[in-house]
Structure 1
């Protein structure tokens, strides 16, 4: 069987954080390095904050995530704050200059109430004028249609941290309104299943997303359709948002 710790280590192999080779990582990296204090919401194994500290960030860095196995891996570095919790549980009055949600973490917040509570939590953890930066897949691109074991582009073969050859893929279980339920499978090369993880993602369109942000007290500073900061078009696969916290506290 594959443990939660194994899965956390595998995540790092599948998603190496490298601003030199990944345009999305580069986008966040410059913002993080320029900010005095950063709260990474849904930080996972903490790869971004680890690299920021490695490369000389001297300010306050904190990672927030409810996944304890991922946080255990993140805590290999002790000069960063690691907080077990959700976005809704972010500490009010923390005064962060920047909050980030990378890796489409925002999409794991599914219900309207969860979205409102999460944005309220982040709003409260930012200083007035502080920024929230995150990306969500644009629903027009229908990314979930490629999440299937018969799609070679969605199948990864690799050797994990323990030296085991594994195969990883995804399959969609349902699409109901703007919520996609799916599962990821980790298996031996012979097909023996080691781990199945189920999840749901919400694909908010631009109008709905901005409605939630505005209601939570954020002002939309910029939105892009790609990591080169090009505008959102009918062909965009991402909605990359930079939102600024207003001074309101209600």
Structure 2
């Protein structure tokens, strides 16, 4: 058996939140530490907000995510507000200076209706002039082409067992990529198969949705160091402001 709780723990091993090592983590960490009140949308296991508290953030911190197993790990800290739900479920009204979607969580908003509802809810959660910062993979980099079993990775989990995690793309339909993630034990026995779809929006399409939702673009970067979006950028880091 490989439970949802196991999957959440494995996620933390594969995706450690470390601003000292990863420039995109540092990008969000700087914004969070400078904001009085922060809502992390798609907070997952809560690593970003955990570190903010540990680093001395004294303001309001809240996270929302539909993955209840991930939230159980997030709730190991009780000095942060944790809510089960999707971005479109956000019910706060004008309460946050900053909303974030780190680790490409924005790409999980696949359909137009879901994206519009989510952006509307995020905007409503912000105070006047509040900012929304998020990260998404740039489609020009075609990251999904590396999502194949030849690029499987091994990881040792918290119990000492070695697991192999492999991805396989099922379809590319316009700007939506659907793929599977297979987790197997050291002997090759499959423990779990998860399926997901991610949307890869380019800058014009992305900015069109933001403008329609009532945001203005403060800045867009092609890397965590603040470089411009170029023809070789692998990510799009956006800071949008509630208009």
Interval containing the TM-score (normalised by the shorter chain): over 0.9
SS of alignment partner, residue 58 of structure 1: coil
Aligned residues, how many?
Answer: 243
**Cα gap change, 1:175 to 1:223, in 2 (>3 Å):** same
Which residue does 1:242 correspond to in 2? 239
Q: Deviations over 1:70-118 (max 9, x none)?
A: 0011001101000101111112414100000001000000000000000
Whether 1:143 and 2:140 are equivalent positions in the alignment is no
Which residue does 1:103 correspond to in 2? 103
Q: Compute the TM-score of the two structures, normalised by the length of structure 1.
A: 0.96
Which residue does 1:200 correspond to in 2? 197
Structure 1 spans left out of the alignment, 5+ residues:
none
Instruction: Give the Cα separation in 1 of the matches to 2:184 and 2:99.
Output: 35
Whether 1:132 and 2:132 are equivalent positions in the alignment is yes
Whether the 8 Å CA contact 2:169–2:177 is kept in 1: the answer is yes
Which residue does 1:170 correspond to in 2? 167
Q: Following TM superposition, where does structure 1 have runs of at least 4 consecutive aligned residues deviating by more than 6 angstroms? A: none
Whether 1:191 and 2:192 are equivalent positions in the alignment is no
Q: Deviations over 1:2-55 (max 9, x none)?
A: 000000000000000011111111111011001000000000000010010011
Q: Deviations over 1:195-237 (max 9, x none)?
A: 1110000001111110000000000000111111111111111
Whether the 8 Å CA contact 2:221–2:228 is kept in 1: the answer is yes
SS of alignment partner, residue 150 of structure 1: helix
Which residue does 1:214 correspond to in 2? 211
Which residue does 2:117 correspond to in 1? 117
What is the Cα-based RMSD across aligned positions, in Å? 0.8
Q: Compute the TM-score of the two structures, normalised by the length of structure 2.
A: 0.98
